[in-house]
Amino acid sequence: MATLLITHDSGLLHATPEGHPERVMRLQAIHGALRAPEFDGLLRKSASLAPEAEVLRVHSAGHLERIRTSAMRPGYVPLDADTWMSEGSFAAAMRAIGGANDAVDAVLAGAARNAFVAMRPPGHHALRETAMGFCLFSTVAIAAKRALDDLDLSRVAVLDFDVHHGNGTQEALWDEARATFVSSQQVPLWPGSGLAAERGGHGQILNLPLPPGSDGQVMRREWELALEQVAKARPELVLVSAGFDAHRDDPLANLNWTEADFAWLTHAICDLADDCCGGRVVSVLEGGYDLDALGRSVAAHVRVLMERGA
């Protein structure tokens, strides 16, 4: 088997205003990094366009309609002070959902051992009724719900290492006993959630607050213990919200991770998946806003996926 890379050019058509950190160049930086010869062995696939019913696994019909109609307005459309849309945004978000679902299907079918979905906009801040934090739809939570409800899985794990708390994913999975959700994040930091006391309706949520200025050694200690807890739930699929904004060069936060830390955490996640579910990992891009650091960190992440998927 091998590692599957899923992307689509629609991700380049989700335009944001000049100076916005969640910009087209993020995806261009990732594409550039993954064009290096060492990544020639990736299986590459274009993301499918998800049917709109997929959104309703997590979001209301009203939210879906607001996002769809906002994309029909010309120019840049603000949804809040941070979250913007353009005419290409709705299609890009639906391709992001479709790509995550494609990756789940391929990994569960044995067509790939693991997968990375390089799409934007990101998703893990989107709430049931509200787009926020650059996110329109909760992509990874939708993929988790689909795996549980339609693909005969009994247990999944969703692991989020973005520097900002995955509040949208947490909301979507708060009462979902079949999904273990672990999220590490800088605290304090926007959106203000992600405290250890936030445990979910069945105690299946584990938040790992990390202090500003802390480095990869602090992260490694926290995640090592967390993954031991996840292993006890015996997930049949591991989904990852892969944000790379904990990097020391990222302008939106104050953690001090390096590419080596992302590689270590990817290995640790793959160890969990090897133990529980035949190595089945689906990783989906979230944040990361320094272009050089983003390209290098994604390369480190995908390099490990390829090594473990061989």
* Dihedral (CA of 271, 105, 96, 180) sign: negative
State the amino acid at position 36 in one-letter form: A
Q: Which residues pair with 158 in a beta bridge?
A: 181, 239
**pLDDT for 310:** 84
How does pLDDT run along the chain (310 residues), one tens digit per residue? 799 999 999 999 999 999 999 999 999 999 999 999 999 999 999 999 999 999 999 999 999 999 999 999 999 999 999 999 999 999 999 999 999 999 999 999 999 999 999 999 999 999 999 999 999 999 999 999 999 999 999 999 999 999 999 999 999 999 999 999 999 999 999 999 999 999 999 999 999 999 999 999 999 999 999 999 999 999 999 999 999 999 999 999 999 999 999 999 999 999 999 999 999 999 999 999 999 999 999 999 999 999 998 8
Question: What does the alpha-carbon distance between residue 204 and residue 239 come to, in Å, rounded to a whole number?
Answer: 15
Angle between helices 61-70 and 89-109 (to 10 degrees): 130
- For the chain, what are the domain ranges? 3-309
**pLDDT for 83:** 98
State the amino acid at position 83 in one-letter form: T
Question: What does the alpha-carbon distance between residue 78 and residue 89 come to, in Å, rounded to a whole number?
Answer: 12
CB 17 within 8 A of CB 84: yes
At the topology level, CATH places domain 3-309 in Arginase; Chain A (3.40.800)
> Catalytic residue positions?
125
**pLDDT for 86:** 97
State the amino acid at position 188 in one-letter form: P
pTM over 0.85: yes
For residue 264, give the DSSP letter.
H
**pLDDT for 1:** 77
